[in-house]
């Protein structure tokens, strides 16, 4: 399951990091501190994606094991 979770996390981590960066850039009070907040937001987005990647990997494996 770890291999599937890592592959899923590569996609979800990128998406979540991008969403967090967009939130920093679109909120005017945060965009002035963008140079400091963008790396933090990207890291938090990537970390938040880990449980979602594990959940998706479990569901993928559950479906594929039932079919086999």
Q: Which two tokens stand for residue 65?
A: 């094991």
Radius of gyration over alpha carbons of the chain, in Å?
15
Two tokens, residue 34:
């963008």
Token pair for 41: 């937001």
**Domain containing 35: what range?**
2-67
Q: What is the value of pTM for the model shown?
A: 0.85
Q: What angle do CA 36, 38, 44 make, to 5 degrees?
A: 110
pLDDT digits (tens, 9 = 90+) for 2-60: 999 999 999 999 999 999 999 999 999 988 998 999 999 999 999 999 999 999 999 99
Counted domains in the chain: 1
């Amino acid at each position: 399951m770890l291999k599937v979770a890592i592959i899923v996390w590569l996609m979800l981590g990128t998406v979540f990091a991008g969403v967090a960066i967009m939130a920093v850039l679109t909120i005017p009070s945060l965009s002035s501190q963008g140079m400091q907040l963008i790396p933090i937001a990207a890291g938090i987005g990537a970390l938040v994606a880990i449980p979602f990647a594990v959940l998706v990997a479990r569901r993928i494996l559950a479906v594929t094991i039932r079919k086999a």
